[in-house]
Amino acid sequence: MIKNKFTIVWLDDDGESLGHINKILNENYANYNIKIVHIDEPEKIVMQLEKNVPEAILVSLDSEHGIGNLQKLNKYADDESPIVVLTPEADAEMAISALKYGAQDYVIKEHIATDSLFRSLRYAHEIHQLTGKLKKNSNIQQHLIFYDQLTDLPNRQLFFDRLFQSLALAKRTGNLLAVLYLDINKFKLINDAIGHRAGDMILKNVASRLNSCIRESDTVARMGSDEFAFIITDITDEKDIIHIAQKIISNVAQPIVLSGNKDSVTACLGISVFPTDSEDAEILVRNAELAHQRAKVHAVNSFQFFNARLDKKAVERIELEQNLRFALANGELDVYYQPQFNIQQNKLVGFEALMRWIHPQHGFISPATFIPIAEETGLIIELGKFVLNAACKQMHSWHKSGYGDLRIAVNLSARQFRDESLPKIVKTVLRNTKLEPQFLELEITESNAMDSVEHSIAMLSHFIDMNVRLSLDDFGTGYSSLSYLKRFPIHTLKIDRSFIRGIPENKQDCSITTAIIALAKNMEMEVVAEGVEEKKQLDFLKRHDCEIVQGFYFSKPLPGREIEAKFLQKKG
């Protein structure tokens, strides 16, 4: 005879009654294969569930931790198995609180010898299975109501539901929210040409690409046959919307491989922004649709904002980004040098290399504008290599002409600093340019260094091994904890310009500056004051034992030729 398996987990502090219960159940229900597993702590249910989900869990309330165990068990068991409790006596209150804490039934201990224990466990098991099935069915039904069957994306109804919620949240947080509307260009023609089945595959493919462009907290929904809409939340900067739009457009435009054939589709995107364009869900969607119509007229694979001001910004940014891609090849980038002086010894000690972009139409573009774009697009890796190479080459040539003790500082951006191949790049550049490593100083900003301390320490030690110098740029603005500073193998602290600006009038700036000088000295680091523009600042720094100074007072950053003419005349 095949016996029905019935596993019970018995949760009890001491497990003394295990033998007793086992005996009663197995004697009275011989046609069941009843197995009882004892656990003495609710946490241990997790391991049991991994091995085998029991038909029921029986919890003893006849112990010190009874009710507490039950509460915890519920958390760990996560509704996998029904729970029945064994109460010490006919204590109605205890039984009721057990039900409140998730037990399905209770049995009074004195009655276990009779029928009631196993009947209750079996009953709990049956009910649990039944409700499980019902729940599953209702989940499936819910899914059908709110999700598109082909793409499994939220449908129009769920989209608006989420939009209402997201708008309510955005009103509270004050953050921006964007609604993006997209359709696939000429989808009807494609569908007719390749057939509906292949058309469906394209829609599914596009849907999953769209989904991969957004964060989990954002939404993309299928609004109609080839129409999709997005809710992008928690935006603090308008330019982030441009980013996402670009990402979506370029993702959709990637080739799609269908049964060996490469196809591709194009899309247009319209964008409206809360609260600028409306605070109302329906109007935001309508405005995004209107912007989308304009994008369609404009060009394939393009996007337009409902708001013209944002459009202008987006266009400018995209143009700048595109121009930057060619700036290096077109010879529009250059490296300028700003001298650094030891003011205690009246001596030139070296230069900081600073990137310059001279655009043929727009003229000089500040690094503050183009470095963040280079950083976001990844172009900084190429540009960074260019600066490093040019600066090391220049310094080696100055060494050869008799200035063998000057050093060169080169800035590293966050992305460069995260790039695992950076040490190799630096090594190669030093080898190719023949500059000795102790004359190169790499600058990382304090905030980049603090971003991921362990990574920073590992990265910095590569450079220490190479004998390259390291300096912490913009010091005082990045919330360094002194204990980390101790762990960073740094040679130089550069006091941020914002503190030097207030010297000597602003007492706080003076105090911060003298404190950083003292800190650097105590930690045997050099200190460089940046942005010195006036004599009174210089006098203050001299008086307070600051050694190295850089700023417009001595010189602006200049091209190599001008540096030679102004500062490197004697020996050259």
- Rule CB under 6 A: which residues touch ligand C2E? 338, 354-355, 366-368, 371, 384, 387, 411-413, 443, 473-474, 497, 530-533, 550-552, 557
Q: Which is nearer to Mg ion, 104 or 411 (CB)?
A: 411
CB neighbours of residue 261 within 10 Å:
10
Peptide bond into 504 cis (omega under 30): yes
Task: Report the distance separating Cα 254 and Cα 259, nearest Å.
Answer: 16
Kindly state the smallest distance separating residue 167's Cβ from ligand C2E, in Å.
38
Q: For ligand C2E, give the closer residue by CB, 8 or 381.
A: 381
Closest distance to ligand C2E from the beta carbon of 520 (Å):
17
**Amino acid identity for residue 274 in this structure:** F
82: partner contacted, choices Mg ion, ligand C2E, none (Cβ within 5-8 A by kind): none
Which segments of 176-235 are extended strands (E)? 176-184, 219-222, 227-235
Give the nearer residue to ligand C2E in terms of CB position, either 104 or 537: 537
Q: Are 337 and 558 spatial neighbours (Cβ–Cβ below 8 Å)? A: yes
92/368 with CB nearer ligand C2E: 368
Closest distance of CB 472 from Mg ion, Å: 10
Please provide the distance, in angstroms rounded to a whole number, between the alpha carbons at the two ends of the chain. 105
Return the range that interacts with Mg ion (CB under 5 A); candidates 101-109, 387-395, 411-419, 480-488: 411-419
Rounded CA separation 529/545 (Å): 11
Q: Least separation, in Å, of the C-beta of 385 and ligand C2E? A: 10
Judged by CB under 5 A, the stretch of 74-82, 129-137, 212-220, 530-538 that binds Mg ion is 530-538
Q: Would you say 178 or 343 has its CB closer to ligand C2E? A: 343
Q: Supply the minimum distance, in Å, between the C-beta of residue 354 and ligand C2E.
A: 4
Which partner, Mg ion, ligand C2E, none, binds residue 551 by CB below 5 to 8 Å per kind?
A: ligand C2E
The interface partner of residue 412, options being Mg ion, ligand C2E, none and the CB cut-off 5 to 8 Å by kind, is ligand C2E
Q: What are phi and psi of 299, to 5 degrees?
A: -170, 160
Determine what percent of the chain falls in helix, strand and coil, rounding each to the nearest 5.
Answer: 50, 25, 25
For residues 163 and 147, give the distance between their C-alpha atoms in angstroms, rounded to a whole number.
15
Interacting residue with Mg ion among 12, 474, 526, 547 (CB under 5 A): 474
Structure tokens at 268: 């247009």
Q: Which two tokens stand for residue 480?
A: 């360094």
- 533 is in the binding site of which of Mg ion, ligand C2E, none (Cβ under 5 to 8 A by kind)? ligand C2E
Smaller CB distance to Mg ion: residue 105 or 443?
Answer: 443
Select 195 or 559, whichever has its Cβ closest to ligand C2E: 559
3-state secondary structure of 357: strand
Token code pair at residue 472: 């912490």
Least separation in angstroms between CB 366 and ligand C2E: 5
The residue among 270 and 350 lying less far from ligand C2E, judged by its C-beta, is: 350
Q: How far is the CB of 318 from ligand C2E (least distance, A)?
A: 22
User: How far apart, in whole angstroms, are the C-alpha atoms of residue 348 and residue 549?
Assistant: 10
Q: Name the binder of 471 from Mg ion, ligand C2E, none, CB < 5-8 A by kind.
A: none
Stretch that binds Mg ion, among 19-27, 135-143, 406-414, 485-493 (CB under 5 A): 406-414
Spatial contact of 416 and 381, defined as CB atoms under 8 Å apart: yes
Which tokens go with 429? 């550049």
Taking CB under 5 A as the binding criterion, the range among 91-99, 158-166, 290-298, 527-535 that sits at the site for Mg ion is 527-535
- State yes or no: residue 12 binds Mg ion (CB under 5 A): no
Q: Among the candidate windows 212-220, 314-322, 361-369, 526-534, which touches Mg ion by CB under 5 A? A: 526-534
Residue 87 contact among Mg ion, ligand C2E, none, beta carbon within 5 to 8 Å by kind:
none
- In whole angstroms, the minimum distance from the beta carbon of 383 to ligand C2E comes to 7
Cα distance between residue 207 and residue 229, in whole Å: 11
Span 436-455, contacts to Mg ion by CB under 5 A: 443
Answer with the entry of ligand C2E, Mg ion, none that 552 interacts with (C-beta below 5 to 8 A by kind): ligand C2E
Structure tokens at 540: 């203050």
Handedness of CA 446, 448, 454, 460 (dihedral sign): negative
CB of 413 to ligand C2E, least distance (A): 4
Distance (Å, rounded) from C-alpha 136 to C-alpha 525? Answer: 66
411 binds Mg ion (CB under 5 A): yes
Name the binder of 513 from ligand C2E, Mg ion, none, CB < 5-8 A by kind: none
Token reading at 126: 């049956």
Vertex 483: Cα angle to 482 and 489 (nearest 5): 90
Minimum separation from the CB atom of position 379 to Mg ion (A): 19
CA–CA separation, 492 and 496 (whole Å): 12
Q: Which does 483 bind (CB under 5 to 8 A by kind): Mg ion, ligand C2E, none?
A: none
What's the gap between Cα 72 and its chain centre? 34
Query: Does 473 engage in binding with Mg ion (CB under 5 A)?
Result: yes
Query: Whose Cβ is closer to ligand C2E: residue 117's or residue 343's?
Result: 343
Helix (H, G, I), strand (E, B), or coil: what is residue 83? strand
Buried b (16+ CB within 10 A) or exposed e, 396-411: bebbeeebeebbbbbb
Round to whole Å and give the CA distance between 263 and 86: 66
On the CB side of 156, how many CA atoms lie within 13 Å of its CA?
Answer: 7
Of 516 and 532, CB closest to ligand C2E: 532
Q: Which of 367/504 has CB closer to ligand C2E?
A: 367
Which string of DSSP letters, residue by residue, matches 158-202?
Answer: HHHHHHHHHHHHHHHH--EEEEEEEEETTHHHHHHHH-HHHHHHH
Instruction: Give the CA angle between residues 19, 22, 23 to the nearest 5°.
Output: 85
Closer CB to ligand C2E, 350 or 531, in the complex: 531
355 binds, among Mg ion, ligand C2E, none (CB under 5 to 8 A by kind): ligand C2E
Indicate the residue among 61 and 485 with the shorter CB distance to Mg ion.
485
Nearer to ligand C2E, 106 or 370 (CB): 370
| 551 dihedral zone (left: phi>0; alpha: psi -120 to 50; beta) | left
Minimum CB separation of residue 451 from ligand C2E in Å reads: 15
Among 217, 219, 222, 194, residue whose Cα is nearest residue 206: 222
Strands 526-530 and 303-305, sheet pairing: unpaired
Residues that bind Mg ion (CB under 5 A): 411, 443, 473-474, 530
